[in-house]
Structure 1
Amino acid sequence: MYKLKIQKTFAVFLFSISLFSVNASWAIDPKTAAVAMPDKYSAEVAAQILQQGGNAVDAAVASAFVLAVTYPEAGNLGGGGFMTLYAPTLQTYEADTLAVHFLDYREKAPLAATQDMYLDNNKQVIPYKSLVGYQASGVPGTVMGFWQAHQRFGSLSWQQLLQPAIKLAKQGFKVSPQIASRAKWFQEWIANKSPTPLNFKDYFSSLKTGKVFKQPELAQTLTRIANLGAKDFYQGQTAKLLVKQMQKHDGLITLEDLAKYQAVWREPVVGMWKGRTVVSAPPPSSGGIAIVQLLKMKEQLADKLNQALLQGKKAGLSEQTIKTHFYAELEKRVYADRAHYLGDSDFIDVPIKQLISDSYLATRIKTVLFDEISESETMKPGKIESPETTHFSIVDGHGNAVSNTYTLNMPFGSGVVIEGAGFLMNDEMDDFSTKPGVANVFGVVGGTANAIAPEKRMLSSMSPTIVLKDDEVEMVVGTPGGSTIITSVFQTIVNVVEEGMTAQQAVDAPRVHHQLLPKDQIAYNPELPGLVKEELEVMGYTLKKNDYMGDVQLILKTQSGWQAASDNRGEGVSKVFEVKD
């Protein structure tokens, strides 16, 4: 737990009294809750749980297990992720503090993992070995993560929260065109990439648009987890099924790996920006540090950016061209720092406070260019003195908020389904630096700080974020998207605060992305105006239209009330509704 000091006010005192009030009229007054979810099934279940009296964590638990059924390319039992939590009413309330929390349930490297396990005899990376098949998986953290969150903050019973997922696994759900298309693509993509035959087709070839898809083995697994808790997954029948299949195909995960796994409560990254408190993910995520760096550097350069916009207008350049180039300049510096400094803080000393300090960032912006491109080859980390994931956002009727991002890494993970248990395994080992200086599947280069080691958590870009204003939730935001997660969350926050957009406008707006390498390449989605593309190409950029750049789920508090928005790039559903105590 990280306690954020705030000023004692009469309003806070009244609020603390109201939490324990037995006034009958207060008890029946409806409150407002909001959810922004990646599919309609999780949205329905999250809303139901909140309307039944559950809190934000209850809704997160129920919807996460539903997504393991209805969103199998990313929702999961066999993966891991991060949860950022603002919970003023889910703990003993102290009038002079508000509590923010962060739960790291990221996967860990198995005990048998070695630094060079994906290299051949010539120390070259073996293609796809860290992405496909039985040696691509880290020890899963999802079940333990939601179990520990529920044990600390849940109010409804664990068994009750898993019932919707069990029902959907047994009775089936109607397959969307998007899931069917991704499953078909993945089946073809993995066909020739594993020397050991994979069983993905046996389980998921029947994902056809409009058809009802049932998962009886997964229903049995979910029932065991509902009855026995996390113990089943890490020490019980499910653990034995997982390890049996790993041993059969030279996988690395053992019963000892599973029994030793624990999620970790960490201090979130907390940064001040424009009178707001930005709360986000610490290492092993790079997201929180990067987002705070981007926001603060943008603020420090605000006057110079305004000058550049004015000069550009006189020269006939579009505002969007100048801002896109400016974002690229900032992002180069952030990704250089990411590659050098960031990894699992249980294994290396990550200088979080220095990396997000105003003084450090003031040195980073000195070389930002407004009229030309900084050289990627010379972009070094600053000197410090002594794509498949899914996200959901939830706010309950008392203002507690959950921002949760979890993943299998690639769509459908490693292509391995645990036989007899019915769930997919992750391929998160690719998020380590398989070889320092060599890019992973998302094109992100890593360094020795993120080298493979037993029980180490791999670096991530997942960035579940909560923005507080006047000591209350203003935004709950996050997205999938691999390395574009960081820049998507950053631009969404800026769209709201500086561009004055509504929640829906903020998540639907065009986004741009630059990550140091490939050199001078700006990715965009959905489209940029023709003139903007021409101007960026004249500056020296190459442009790439990404088919997919995130699926932002945003909840926003405005003067007129809550707004919830799901990105039009995905198939998400968002709702604002009344709940009663």
Structure 2
Amino acid sequence: LKRFNTVTPVFVKIDGWKAGDTLIQTDLANTLKRIRDKGAPGFYEGETAKLIVEEMKRGGGIISYDDLKNYKAKTRTPHIFTYKGYKIVGMPMPSSGGLLLHQMMKMIEKRNIGSMGFQSEQSVQLMTEVERRAFADRGEYMGDADFYKVPVKELTSEKYLDDRMKDYSPDKAGMSQDVKAGHASYYESEETTHLSVVDKEGNAVAVTTTLNNSYGSRTVVGDAGFFLNDEMDDFSIKPGVPNMYGAIGGEANAIMPGKRMLSSMTPTIVLKDDKPFLVIGTPGGTTIPTSVFQTLVNIIEFGMNTEDAVYKPKFHHQWLPDTLEIEKGFPQPVSEALKKKGYAIKERGAIGRTEVIRVLPGGKFEGVADRRGDDDAEGY
């Protein structure tokens, strides 16, 4: 942080923070006051915008005052699909999360995965292969729908998803070099935050937000007190070349002025009988959709309680690199059996930090904060 800033940010303490220390972020407080008093113009115009532009000039950036003033948030229709009687409400493009979750859930729907057993060789292999195929489509077809016609209807049609699984064999590992994006008619960072909220009236909110990499660009806007993100890495800077987290993208996610980058954020609300049943999401970069996918399958198909559904070891495949990543504690007999079938297995640290609220019969709430992170569940 010292390297990328002309002054040491207030939250950086050279001799380290100790219990009982007080951190006062006056610059950030003033930034938040301007947003409180003026709404969006309190950030994208006026004093805060001027401070951002000053930082751009200092660091050789290209964002101008007019760029900030002309920025507008987009309201888009949620991505909604059904799974065995549940209505699943997810995030639309330019996040790939809702569409990936749709594809993965539908590719297992006809295969009676519940009878295979939790983290059996059969269920893990099936889920790995649907993850592989969904991420292959992500690299080819997904991006900002304002700039590229994302063939959502085709990518989620029953025929298309059935065709995607035609070459699936439970006897051997798939190979990503052989699993390309399907024919449709037409490692991003893990430094992300998610919160799930339900109130007594039954209103539910799932929110995921991110800086992208750890500490974003590592640059703090002087006198404004916040980090600039490094979300440009979520674009396909060079189509076909992986980003810092191994994710591959194509022309659909190429850089263009005014375009929004593809992400993996998957804030999700699951409705049962048209009422909130689950509110779920997680940080984790490209592991976000697979973490949400596995947590939903754990609850809906394997009948798990919420804590087990969140805490049990997870796994992840994103097409490229062609590696099945597993968490510490993943059952060794299963990983050994999958190795024999040809899977390249790699043990890694935490996969996701999933936050779930479950609405129980009678209207009580059960909140689970993932112990993989410094997370918390509260009711008041």
- The answer, yes or no, to whether TM exceeds 0.5 is yes
Q: Determine helix, strand or coil for the equivalent of 2:205.
A: strand
Q: Structure 2 residue aligned with 1:261, among 48, 71, 82?
A: 71
Q: How does 1:60-459 map to 2 (within 5 A)?
A: 187=1, 197-199=4-6, 201-206=8-13, 208-210=17-19, 211-302=21-112, 309=116, 320-385=120-185, 387-459=190-262
TM superposition shift of 1:379: 1.1
Cα 1:563–1:282 shift into 2, 3 Å: same
1:110 is matched with none
1:551 is matched with 353
Q: Answer yes or no: is the 8 Å Cα contact 1:552–1:567 preserved in 2.
A: yes
1:33 is matched with none
Q: Structure 2 residue aligned with 1:488, among 260, 277, 291?
A: 291
Measure the CA separation in 2 of the matches of 1:274 and 1:562: 23
1:145 is matched with none
**Kindly, what percent of the aligned residue pairs are identical?**
43
Q: Structure 1 residue aligned with 2:278, among 472, 475, 489?
A: 475
2:335 is matched with 533
1:54 is matched with none
Measure the CA separation in 2 of the matches of 1:516 and 1:506: 24
Q: Answer yes or no: is the 8 Å Cα contact 2:194–2:206 preserved in 1.
A: yes
Q: Deviations over 1:333-364 (max 9, x none)?
A: 10110000000000010111221222221111
TM superposition shift of 1:282: 0.9
Q: Deviations over 1:49-97 (max 9, x none)?
A: xxxxxxxxxxxxxxxxxxxxxxxxxxxxxxxxxxxxxxxxxxxxxxxxx
Q: Determine helix, strand or coil for the equivalent of 1:559.
A: coil
Unaligned runs of 5+ in 2: none
TM-score, length-scaled by structure 1? 0.62
Q: Answer yes or no: is the 8 Å Cα contact 1:412–1:424 preserved in 2.
A: yes
Cα 1:203–1:576 shift into 2, 3 Å: closer
Q: Answer yes or no: is the 8 Å Cα contact 2:151–2:185 preserved in 1.
A: no
Measure the CA separation in 2 of the matches of 1:555 and 1:202: 35
Q: Determine helix, strand or coil for the equivalent of 2:291.
A: helix
Q: Determine helix, strand or coil for the equivalent of 1:325.
A: helix
Measure the CA separation in 1 of the matches of 2:160 and 2:265: 24
Q: Answer yes or no: is the 8 Å Cα contact 1:431–1:458 preserved in 2.
A: yes
Unaligned runs of 5+ in 1: 1-186, 192-196, 311-317
Structure 1 residue 570 and structure 2 residue 373: aligned? yes
Cα 1:202–1:287 shift into 2, 3 Å: same
Q: Answer yes or no: is the 8 Å Cα contact 1:443–1:517 preserved in 2.
A: yes
TM-score, length-scaled by structure 2? 0.93
Measure the CA separation in 2 of the matches of 1:357 and 1:200: 54
TM superposition shift of 1:302: 2.4
**RMSD of aligned Cα (Å):** 1.9
Instruction: Please tell me the residue identity of whatever aligns with 2:149.
Output: D
Q: Determine helix, strand or coil for the equivalent of 1:258.
A: helix
More deviation, 474-483/292-301: 292-301
Cα 1:438–1:474 shift into 2, 3 Å: same
Q: Answer yes or no: is the 8 Å Cα contact 2:91–2:268 preserved in 1.
A: yes
Q: Determine helix, strand or coil for the equivalent of 2:336.
A: helix
- Name whichever structure is richer in helix by fraction: 1
Q: Answer yes or no: is the 8 Å Cα contact 2:88–2:268 preserved in 1.
A: yes
2:325 is matched with 523
TM superposition shift of 1:199: 4.8
Q: How does 1:33-48 map to 2 (within 5 A)?
A: none
Instruction: Please tell me the residue identity of whatever aligns with 1:381.
Output: A
Q: Answer yes or no: is the 8 Å Cα contact 2:236–2:248 preserved in 1.
A: yes
Q: Determine helix, strand or coil for the equivalent of 2:166.
A: helix
Instruction: Please tell me the residue identity of whatever aligns with 1:204.
Output: F
Q: Determine helix, strand or coil for the equivalent of 2:271.
A: strand
Measure the CA separation in 2 of the matches of 1:490 and 1:362: 19
Measure the CA separation in 1 of the matches of 2:379 and 2:38: 34
Q: Deviations over 1:406-462 (max 9, x none)?
A: 010012100010001111010000000011111111211011110000110000000
Which runs of 4 or more aligned residues in structure 1 lie more than 6 Å from their structure 2 counterparts after TM superposition?
Answer: none
